[in-house]
Chains A and B, each alone.
Chain A
Amino acid sequence: MAAPGGDMQWCFSQVKGAIDDDVAEADIISTVEFNHTGELLATGDKGGRVVIFQQEIENKSLPQFRSEYNVYSTFQSHEPEFDYLKSLEIEEKINKIRWLPQKNAAQFLLSTNDKTIKLWKISERDKRPDGYNLKEDDGRYKDPNSITSLRVPVLIPMDLMVEASPRRVFANAHTYHINSVSVNSDHETYLSADDLRVNLWHLEITDRSFNIVDIKPTNMEELTEVITAAEFHPHQCNTFVYSSSKGIIRLCDMRESALCDRHTKLFEEPEDPSNRSFFSEIISSISDVKFSHSGRYMMTRDYLSVKIWDLNMENRPVETYQVHEYLRSKLCSLYENDCIFDKFECCWNGNDSVVMTGSYNNFFRMFDRSQRRDVMLEASRENSKPMQVLKPRKVCAGGKRKKDEISVDSLDFNKKILHTAWHPQDNIIAVATTNNLYIFQDKVN
């Protein structure tokens, strides 16, 4: 494994997507996910499409070109729907993509919009049968009387064709908007979470799911918090966590009871009363929760910070990183323009030594846990020459602005990086701006 993020220099590799400044709503990227080997990179967008990129195999051995990804498959996962009973439109936006571990030649992934989860099979076809006895090459049937001899059809090579087919549709199990999907380490079940409930599914069974968490109060007027994210433990198939809008993470053990309304562990950090404001509840809402690959830690993202929790310590996080503390004085404006509701995701690198998350102005941050260093980088077309090294960026919160610093008032809050992903085994990262996907790799000396 290469050196952690603090010492590392990051280079631009590729950018995918339209160059136009005028962004079509359907092209806005809504989720990014590497598969378990890192060979495939999937993106979902607001238009309900999934685009899968594949790492170029020929370049894998060339270190400086190993992060070249090309389009592998594109398909329409979800379509807009209309719930006639409630007079509600169901958006086709892909909220989450999760890859299943590969079992055979085909790849499988789960994609979800607000209401329906689908299991997709992505398979390659590079051979086709030739030499049918009863059919012509163009598909027309022969007259059986004209056949004088028989032959055995053979498979001949053809241009690679990648097919995506929906194998399962898991529908009608969520009244509220689905925010998370997580595949269990048993590779047979997965969970889906909406604002108030978490359901457990079997990948083979679509007509029923088990509700394992239900925080809906008897009287909806008593509702004080919602579920914001949920994830299975990477190794313990009985353990999962879910985060809430109150900044609380609950760890549940499915062995304790069928309904996991009572948590096994509760992770919460008391609020600092000196930071109390009108927006305290909003900025403490957790937007993402991710277990470390080791399974010992978990990371949460709220509006201003990233926190690392040790699963053995519930009363406070072991590490806290401020992503953009300079925004604390701007919360009122961010509330007005709705940016305060942005849900930033976070991710671990392969060996859990570095964490990454996005920010505004197309900035994203990496925090090196072992070396206690952090860096802020920018994904922009201006820095997109091949192998161009990214320069660290700095935001000036107030006072005299130094050279190369950007003032907090100059930040573009329409340019936000909500979704990032880190290759599971290599220092290759995928960073999604509004409608572009940037791929960076570490500099090879």
Chain B
Amino acid sequence: MECAFEAQNLISISLRKIQSSRTQRGGIKLHKNLLVTYVLRNARQFYMNKNVSQAQRSPPYEDAAAVREKQEYLELMGSFTELADDFYCNFTGAESDSWHCGAHQHNGQLTEVQHQDASSCVLVSPNESDLMLSEACWSCADKSWELPVPNTQANQKTVLDLDTHVVTTVSNGYFHSDCCAQPRQPQGAQCHKKRKMDTSYFIVDPEFYLPDFVPVPFKRMRSDDDSHSDSDQLDNTNISNLISVLGSGGLSEFVSWQQTDLEQIFGTQTICLKHTLFTGSGWTRAIEAF
């Protein structure tokens, strides 16, 4: 229990460090932030393993409500596991040399392919000769989201997709792709299918996204025309923009999360916390970018 608390503590401390690195004199320190992401990863893995083992050790007698809650929780974990596999398809961890990009297919059988780089995350179906993306597998090069938000008010936010560098404007909770940065085509694979999320599980927190009025100390990703001029400059901006994602309201949620029990997280409508903790979505990819 102490170690779990320490893991939570480390996660919030690490996020604060990444946040404060944005305003440090001299620019973001790549080395330090890379090390912080390792701590984040380790703490996250510890916490995930601990909760998986706790979920498996269910007591013999429970009331129906608790059982239902646990089932829903396990289903959620299952979905998140799917997403975790997909999102982490290229992250090299200490426990394994590489993560396999595998989709948990309901129908048919697909062969897991250990891919070499982020741009070639595909599944090969033994039934089809051509490479194609399964609906359940995200292309690491193109992950555009279509997530309806129950917020019915007109709501314009600027969203930065961390993989495709697409800057989009969110209106009424729906994404509209405005422009695309330099396209990163995977070798030999066409990754254009968009993933449709089951919204019964997720509710998007608009605060997760970067509002236009938040002062960003670094330049946003440029358009396709500008992106060719200096790839190094782009990368620095890329890193800083990834951190900018954390600068939104999502970070304050993470900081306060250290006191929040997992069940409370499940009960809230804060998608970013659930996503980031269990699926390694946006912000974790942002951190892994280091």
Contacts and interface: CB of A to CB of B under 8 A. Distances in A.
A335 B25 contact: no
Interface string A315-350: 000000000000000001001101001000000000
A88 B27 contact: yes
Contact of A177 (B25, B26, B42, B290): B26
Interface stretch (A34-42, A220-228, A234-242, A373-381): A220-228
A285 interface: yes
B13 A335 contact: yes
Contacts of A90: 26-27
Interface in A44-94: 85-91, 93
Contacts of B6: 278, 332
B245 to A, nearest CB: 13
B31 interface: yes
B118 A222 contact: yes
Among B10, B35, B42, B94, chain A packs the most CB atoms within 10 A around the CB of B35
A413 interface: no
B169 interface: no
Given A222-B90, A224-B92, A91 B31 contact: no
A210 interface: no
A245 B31 contact: yes
A219 interface: yes
Contacts of B42: 277-281
B289 A220 contact: yes
Contacts of A228: 31
Interface in B22-45: 25-27, 29-32, 34-35, 38-39, 42-43
A303 to B, nearest CB: 10
Contacts of A176: 30
Given A87-B218, A114-B27, A216-B235, 9 more contacts: A88-B26, A89-B27, A220-B235, A221-B90, A222-B92, A222-B118, A224-B34, A335-B10, A336-B13
Contact of A219 (B13, B31, B43, B117): B117
Contacts of B10: 278, 332, 335
B233 A89 contact: no
Main secondary structure of the interface of B (DSSP, over half): helix
A225 B117 CA distance: 16
Q: With a 10 A CB-CB cut-off, give which of A195, A220, A224, A245 has the most chain B CB atoms.
A: A220
19 contacts: A87-B218, A88-B26, A88-B218, A89-B25, A176-B30, A195-B31, A219-B118, A219-B184, A220-B238, A220-B239, A221-B285, A221-B289, A226-B30, A245-B35, A278-B7, A278-B43, A279-B39, A279-B42, A341-B35
Contacts of B118: 219, 221-222
Nearest to A85: B233
A102 interface: no
A218 B39 CA distance: 24
B233 A86 contact: yes
Interface residues of B, number: 41
Contact of A226 (B31, B90, B288): B31
A175 interface: yes
B126 interface: no
Nearest to A287: B31
A218 B119 CA distance: 10
Interface of B: 6-7, 10, 13, 17, 25-27, 29-32, 34-35, 38-39, 42-43, 46, 90, 92, 94, 117-119, 163, 184, 217-219, 232-233, 235-239, 285, 288-290
B46 to A, nearest CB: 7
A282 interface: yes
Contacts of B34: 223-226, 245
A91 B31 CA distance: 16
Given A86-B236, A224-B92, A226-B30, A285 B35 contact: yes
Contacts of B25: 89, 91
Task: Select the residue from B17, B31, B46, B236 with max chain A CB neighbours within 10 A.
Answer: B31
A284 B30 CA distance: 17
Interface string A136-180: 000000000000000000000000000000000000000111010
A11 B77 CA distance: 64
A94 to B, nearest CB: 13
A211 to B, nearest CB: 11
B288 A221 contact: yes
Nearest to B3: A278
Given A220-B238, A335-B13, A282 B26 contact: no
Nearest to B45: A278
Contacts of A224: 34, 92
A319 B11 CA distance: 35
Nearest to A83: B27
Given A91-B25, A332-B10, A281 B35 contact: yes
A282 B38 contact: yes
Nearest to A282: B35
Contacts of A88: 26-27, 218, 236
A117 to B, nearest CB: 16
What 10 A-B pairs have minimum CB-CB distances, sorted nearest first? Answer: A281-B38, A175-B232, A91-B26, A221-B289, A88-B27, A278-B42, A195-B30, A282-B35, A219-B118, A226-B31
A347 B142 CA distance: 49
Contacts of A175: 232-233, 235-236
Interface in A176-227: 176-177, 179, 195-196, 216, 218-226
